[in-house]
Structure 1
């Protein structure tokens, strides 16, 4: 694979921010969309891809023509999807946060399934400068797969809404990674 730059942009703030928004299709706010378009200014890309969920898709489409790929969706939180963390049993949530593979949300996705799904999407990328508008979980899965960061390392990285992660990728291994713009605009 030829080297290429891969930009991962987390969608802008959604309606209902702070809840466990996985498959819940909560739209991005106008301010969230504006933050993403501002963050993308100056990025030189030949391809834009987005999750199919509206909070990511609206941000991507505001930037320019976009290919939709549902593999870039957020982790499915099953029965917890759409709930505030306070509404979830604290012990169960703690087990999930400690080991999301061994203790996934009831009816939800395992961490390894998210990693496999995002890994397949990455493997299908053509070697061209690409912007992907996605979700925090999918960005962490990409870091895990491309950089080999363990679970604790990927969750130690702050990825607020409209944050941008830039990777230089070649031979399925990044040459370097740089996280930019970690504050929302």
Structure 2
């Protein structure tokens, strides 16, 4: 087995459109959301920051990278699941039966014009393969859940048992190679 790497996954701070299905909708993060992320990252030993290319992640990642004086990179594979025609809408604006079917089976009942869970999982798994030791990845709750499935072997339903509030940090240790493995080091709300 190869030497392990440590990485941190952080959910972006609270966005201006909190409470909506924000997949590819690109909205700003609230100033308090940026402050919460900076505070959560303060005690982390990080060598670089990588962010989803959506503004709510980029704004938080930019501030953290400046605080830690480390490089910042953007990677669209860390985006949230694309909710298609539902994107940017509140759950109350979406057909309740269709939304329930999606939560029960996001691969078999994806949002109209949206992304399947398996597509999100594949792109996050690919992004994990290239993550460097000491990285902080500022991303979204869906991508963090996909990382738990890809790295730790949880099934999709198990990944939903994790509470991932805004600005939380999930720290993982990954072993890559022929027999990949992962360990959760910490989950800080």
Equivalent position SS for 2:172? strand
State whether structure 2 residue 39 is matched by structure 1 residue 33: no
Q: CA RMSD in A?
A: 0.9
**Equivalent of residue 140 in structure 1, options 145, 170, 173:** 145
- How much has 1:106 moved relative to structure 2? 0.1
State whether structure 2 residue 166 is matched by structure 1 residue 161: yes
**Equivalent of residue 119 in structure 1, options 118, 125, 128:** 125
Q: Distance in 1 between matches of 2:49 and 2:172?
A: 15
- List gaps (5 residues or longer) in structure 2: 66-70
1:65-104 matched pairs, under 5 angstroms: 65-104=71-110
Equivalent position SS for 1:117? helix
Aligned twin of 1:173: 181
Equivalent position SS for 1:49? strand
TM-score (norm 1): 0.95
- How much has 1:170 moved relative to structure 2? 1.2
Q: Distance in 2 between matches of 1:72 and 1:59?
A: 14
- List gaps (5 residues or longer) in structure 1: none
Runs of 4+ aligned structure 1 residues displaced above 6 Å come to none
- How much has 1:90 moved relative to structure 2? 0.4
- How much has 1:146 moved relative to structure 2? 0.3
1:37-52 matched pairs, under 5 angstroms: 37-52=38-53
- How much has 1:179 moved relative to structure 2? 3.6
- How much has 1:180 moved relative to structure 2? 2.5
Equivalent position SS for 1:6? strand
- Shifted more, 164-173 versus 4-13: the winner is 164-173
Aligned twin of 2:9: 8
Equivalent pairs, count:
180
- How much has 1:125 moved relative to structure 2? 1.8
Q: Distance in 1 between matches of 2:186 and 2:29?
A: 22
